[in-house]
């Protein structure tokens, strides 16, 4: 190529380039007829360097905007209300906001979209009471001591509620199942703890619960009276729990997936809470924390329910935090976090010092502020298989992508490569297994408040560490001993299927079938109180009371100090009319546990009906110290006081009952009768008239007639005696004759006058 051609080619290349022209450099002129178009092009053409400058400027402005508009605005958070909503037995992957396109959860989805959604959240135990104890204390189960449903939160363990009440929050809880009944200690710090499920019954059964509708109604009524106060409230919904039985229309809409129908129904009442807050102008001033307490097996890995295994379906839960002002930018967090972290998050939101509650979790706010991006290690345990079936406890560590499960046949899963936990890598990954086991041992000892006695370089626990783990209840870490060897739950799949069949038969009220299945289970698991109790209940449901009693006695021969067996035996004696045996058995219970409400209630009632009023009242007082909200106990105690002549004390209790149950006419009658006996007729007539205004009953008319007669109001007495007699069909003949006689007497007096 000639030099001239090379120069021409170079010029053409330069003209095609986008480089910025240098001052004084010649530019091509537009051709004739293109001047106008070229002129326009000159006006719109922007230098590349200007574009670069604008990009840098916009980036700088973006950074400045981000700096000026942080994702969290925590300064005013201590002045906000705090609302904790816990969703019992709720799997994260069954909510729309966690990717389930078949779910009908618009209210949870909305809160997740507008707030913060945590995508990888673990409970500390797949059981209701231990998990909620962790949420409210910020402690692992090994530290707070609640390892199974039915345990008691030890005295001295402080809850987040106690911190909040000291900081001026009005506190109230509204729970939906016996699992979190106040007797177990979660009521600590709550000024109001609403755990009344069937308010007129004397006892709460282990499976007592109420639907979300009823729990929401109690929360709504409380909010109506307390919305002007800064509050911390806990609402617990229990609906997605076996047996799955959603109300219409969810029953029909989810006929093939009733578990999801229960979740959809529960979501509706999450929305009702939001509406109630909005109606009071409180929504923007309330920080809402929504958490599942544990998941549900649904047969994915044989287990239909929860508590036995530590697979993802029972230990992964939803967690949503919402408030548009405190968290103006919605976000998602993919880091591993724990329910353990909720209490310290609340501490930070309310402006309290961490020292006010000795938590083991960490606030979630650093993750939300993007100051922390690391996965947190999760400890998970279940003692349900050991306490309920005599099988080994399970304890797990989740660290990054790995889950290690310690049990007689340990398991290791790569959750990233194998999220469904189908391939156990325990044997094929010895180095990872050894590291995670060592970490799990250390974390458990630290969580349990135990020192670690491990020489540097040691790859396993020392003998002292092993003994400490045993003392904390973790027998699966220790060398096998003849007296303390428990089988792995995985080895009991056939028996687990049998247990689930028996439970299903009981749910369907097929007690004869349940009895036969429980007999087989008892033969396999003779050292579990649950085996005897379940069989005895199935027998009692068929009115086989003597057989039920013999079953429980058989259990007590083997497990002589079992509180569960003794309580059930005491109840069975009571309903069989064997009052002396019931009283004796329940006093045995009280020697084991002086705070057993059922035993105190039974003893009080037996003493009361036998005329031993003073003794009965002591038992009532002890029971009410534990269950002060119990309608049945309060009524019984007031009735005992009234019948022993302590009328004014009884009146005060009845007045408080009226405050809580203003539509129950019986309490107005009881007060009216008491005032009538005291000779305070105006007060008596006032309350008795209120009683018949609520519900005009024949007993109401009779009592009001007597009160008016005593007050010298003959005409009114005549009127109410007549109303009584008009409605007296079926009443005690003696009462009818008495009313007729008094009516004749009064009418005669009026005639003579």
User: pLDDT tens for residues 536-595?
Assistant: 999 999 999 999 999 999 999 999 999 999 999 999 999 999 999 999 999 999 999 999
The Cβ of residue 214 has, within 10 Å, a number of other Cβ atoms equal to: 16
Q: What is the model's pLDDT at position 355? A: 86
Residue 40 has pLDDT above 50, yes or no: no
Q: What is the model's pLDDT at position 479? A: 56
What is the DSSP secondary structure assignment for residue 199, as one 8-state letter? Answer: T
Q: What is the model's pLDDT at position 394? A: 97
What domains can you pick out in the chain, each with its CATH number? 77-372 (3.40.720.10), 392-450+461-477 (3.30.1120.10), 645-753 (1.25.40.10)
User: pLDDT tens for residues 314-361?
Assistant: 999 999 999 999 999 999 999 999 999 999 999 999 999 888 999 999
Q: Could you tell me if residue 145 is left (phi over 0), alpha (psi between -120 and 50 degrees) or otherwise beta?
A: left
User: pLDDT tens for residues 155-174?
Assistant: 999 999 999 999 999 999 99
Q: What gap in Å lies between CA 125 and CA 314, rounded to an integer?
A: 9
CB within 8 Å of 114: residues ≥ 6 apart: 322, 324, 330
What is the DSSP secondary structure assignment for residue 209, as one 8-state letter? Answer: B
CB within 8 Å of 158: residues ≥ 6 apart: 137, 188, 357, 358
Helix, strand and coil percent figures for the chain, each rounded to 5: 55, 10, 35
Helix pair 258-279, 106-114: axis angle to 10 deg: 60
Q: What is the model's pLDDT at position 196? A: 87
Least confident of 58-62, 251-255, 389-393, 679-683: 58-62
User: pLDDT tens for residues 114-150?
Assistant: 999 999 999 999 999 999 999 999 999 999 999 999 9
The pLDDT of 515-530, averaged and rounded, is 94
The Cα angle at residue 292 between residues 288 and 295, in degrees rounded to 5: 170
CB within 8 Å of 172: residues ≥ 6 apart: 190, 191, 192, 193, 194, 219, 222, 226, 231, 233, 234
Confidence of residue 451 (pLDDT cuts 50, 70, 90): low
Q: Can you give the C-alpha Rg of the chain in angstroms?
A: 35
- pTM beyond cutoff 0.95: no
Confidence of residue 15 (pLDDT cuts 50, 70, 90): very low
Q: What gap in Å lies between CA 76 and CA 78, rounded to an integer?
A: 6
DSSP 496-518: HHHHHHHHHHHHTT-HHHHHHHH
The Cβ of residue 191 has, within 10 Å, a number of other Cβ atoms equal to: 15
Helix pair 597-609, 613-626: axis angle to 10 deg: 160
Helix pair 342-349, 128-137: axis angle to 10 deg: 30
Place of tokens 């006996």: 677
Q: What is the model's pLDDT at position 483? A: 47
Q: What is the model's pLDDT at position 47? A: 55
Q: What gap in Å lies between CA 94 and CA 58, rounded to an integer?
A: 41
The two three-digit tokens of residue 242, written as one number: 């076996």
Backbone angles phi, psi at 238, to 5 degrees: -115, 0
Kindly tell me the sign of the dihedral angle through the C-alpha atoms of 59, 63, 69, 73: positive
| Residue 289 · residue 321 · CB < 8 Å | yes
Decide which of 408 and 55 is more confident: 408
CB within 8 Å of 205: residues ≥ 6 apart: 178
The pLDDT of 517-521, averaged and rounded, is 96
The pLDDT of 723-728, averaged and rounded, is 93
User: pLDDT tens for residues 72-110?
Assistant: 889 999 999 999 999 999 999 999 999 999 999 999 999
Decide which of 80 and 461 is more confident: 80
The two three-digit tokens of residue 184, written as one number: 């177990």
Residue 52 has pLDDT above 60, yes or no: no
- Per DSSP, the chain holds a count of helices (H) and strands (E) of 31, 12
Residue 10 has pLDDT above 70, yes or no: no
pLDDT > 70: percent of the chain: 88
Confidence of residue 468 (pLDDT cuts 50, 70, 90): confident
The two three-digit tokens of residue 122, written as one number: 């673990």
Q: What gap in Å lies between CA 74 and CA 198, rounded to an integer?
A: 41
Decide which of 42 and 691 is more confident: 691
The pLDDT of 438-459, averaged and rounded, is 73
Coil vs helix vs strand at 117: strand
User: pLDDT tens for residues 363-401?
Assistant: 999 999 999 999 999 999 999 999 999 899 999 999 999
The pLDDT of 35-59, averaged and rounded, is 45
Q: Across the chain, what does the average pLDDT equal?
A: 89
Confidence of residue 750 (pLDDT cuts 50, 70, 90): confident
The pLDDT of 35-48, averaged and rounded, is 43
Confidence of residue 2 (pLDDT cuts 50, 70, 90): very low
């Amino acid at each position: 190529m000639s030099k001239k051609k090379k120069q021409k080619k170079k010029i053409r290349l330069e003209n095609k380039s986008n480089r910025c022209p240098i001052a004084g450099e010649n530019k091509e002129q537009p051709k004739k007829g293109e001047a106008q178009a070229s002129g326009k092009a000159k006006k719109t053409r922007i230098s590349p360097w200007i574009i670069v400058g604008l990009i840098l400027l916009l980036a700088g402005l973006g950074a400045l905007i981000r700096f000026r508009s942080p994702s969290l605005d925590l300064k005013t958070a201590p002045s906000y209300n705090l609302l904790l909503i816990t969703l019992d037995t709720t799997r994260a992957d069954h909510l729309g906001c966690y990717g389930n396109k078949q779910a009908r959860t618009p209210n949870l989805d909305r809160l997740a979209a507008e707030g913060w959604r945590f995508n990888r959240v673990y409970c500390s135990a797949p059981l209701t009471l231990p998990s909620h104890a962790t949420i409210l204390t910020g402690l692992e189960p090994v530290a707070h001591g609640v390892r199974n449903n039915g345990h008691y939160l030890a005295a001295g363990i402080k809850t987040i509620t106690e911190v909040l009440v000291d900081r001026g929050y009005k506190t109230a809880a509204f729970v939906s199942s016996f699992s979190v009944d106040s007797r177990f200690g979660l009521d600590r710090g709550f000024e109001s703890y609403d755990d009344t499920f069937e308010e007129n019954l004397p006892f709460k059964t282990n499976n007592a619960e109420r639907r979300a509708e009823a729990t929401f109604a109690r929360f709504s009524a409380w909010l109506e009276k307390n919305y002007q106060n800064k509050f911390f409230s806990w609402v617990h919904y229990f609906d997605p729990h076996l047996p799955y039985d959603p109300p219409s229309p969810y029953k029909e809409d989810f006929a093939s997936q009733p578990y999801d129908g229960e979740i959809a129904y529960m979501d509706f009442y999450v929305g009702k809470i939001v509406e109630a807050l909005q109606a009071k102008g409180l929504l923007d001033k309330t920080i809402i924390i929504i958490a599942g307490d544990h998941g549900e097996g649904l047969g994915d890995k044989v287990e239909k329910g929860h508590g036995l295994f530590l697979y993802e379906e029972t230990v992964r839960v939803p967690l949503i935090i919402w408030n548009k002002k405190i968290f103006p930018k919605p976000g998602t967090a993919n880091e591993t976090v724990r329910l353990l972290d909720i209490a310290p998050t609340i501490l930070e939101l309310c402006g309290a010092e961490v020292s006010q509650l000795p938590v083991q979790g960490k606030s979630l706010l650093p993750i939300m502020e993007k100051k922390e991006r690391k996965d947190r290690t999760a400890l998970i345990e279940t003692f349900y298989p050991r306490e309920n079936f005599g099988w080994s406890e399970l304890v797990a560590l989740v660290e990054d992508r790995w889950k290690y499960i310690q049990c007689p046949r340990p398991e290791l899963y790569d959750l990233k490569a194998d999220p469904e936990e189908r391939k156990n890598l325990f044997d094929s990954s010895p180095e990872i297994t050894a590291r995670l086991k060592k970490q799990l041992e250390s974390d458990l000892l630290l969580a349990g408040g135990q020192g670690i006695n491990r020489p540097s370089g040691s790859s396993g626990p020392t003998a002292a560490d092993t003994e400490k783990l045993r003392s904390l209840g973790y027998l699966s870490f220790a060398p096998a001993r003849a007296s303390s060897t428990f089988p792995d739950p995985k080895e009991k799949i056939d028996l687990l299927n049998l247990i689930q069949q028996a439970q299903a038969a009981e749910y369907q009220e097929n007690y004869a079938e349940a009895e036969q299945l429980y007999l087989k289970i008892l033969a396999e698991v003779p050292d579990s109180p649950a085996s005897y109790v379940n069989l005895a209940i199935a027998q009692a449901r068929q009115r086989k009371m003597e057989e039920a009693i013999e079953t429980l006695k058989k259990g007590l021969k083997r497990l002589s100090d079992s509180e569960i067996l003794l309580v059930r035996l005491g109840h069975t004696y009571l309903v069989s009319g064997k009052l002396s045996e019931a009283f004796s058995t329940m006093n045995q219970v009280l020697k084991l546990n002086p705070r057993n409400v059922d035993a105190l209630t039974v003893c009080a009632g037996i003493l009361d009906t036998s005329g031993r009023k003073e003794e009965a009242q002591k038992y009532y007082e002890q029971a009410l110290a534990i269950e002060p909200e119990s309608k049945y106990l309060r009524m019984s105690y007031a009735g005992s006081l009234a019948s022993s002549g302590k009328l004014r004390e009884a009146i005060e209790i009845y007045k408080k009952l009226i405050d809580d149950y203003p539509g129950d006419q019986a309490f107005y009658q009881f007060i009216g009768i008491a005032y009538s006996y005291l000779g305070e007729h105006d007060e008596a007539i006032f309350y008795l008239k209120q009683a018949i205004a609520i519900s005009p009953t024949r007993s109401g008319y009779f009592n009001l007639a007597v009160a008016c007669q005593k007050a010298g109001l003959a005409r009114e007495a005549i009127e109410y005696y007549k109303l009584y007699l008009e409605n007296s069909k079926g009443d005690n003949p003696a009462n009818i004759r008495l009313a007729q006689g008094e009516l004749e007497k009064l009418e005669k007096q009026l005639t003579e006058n």
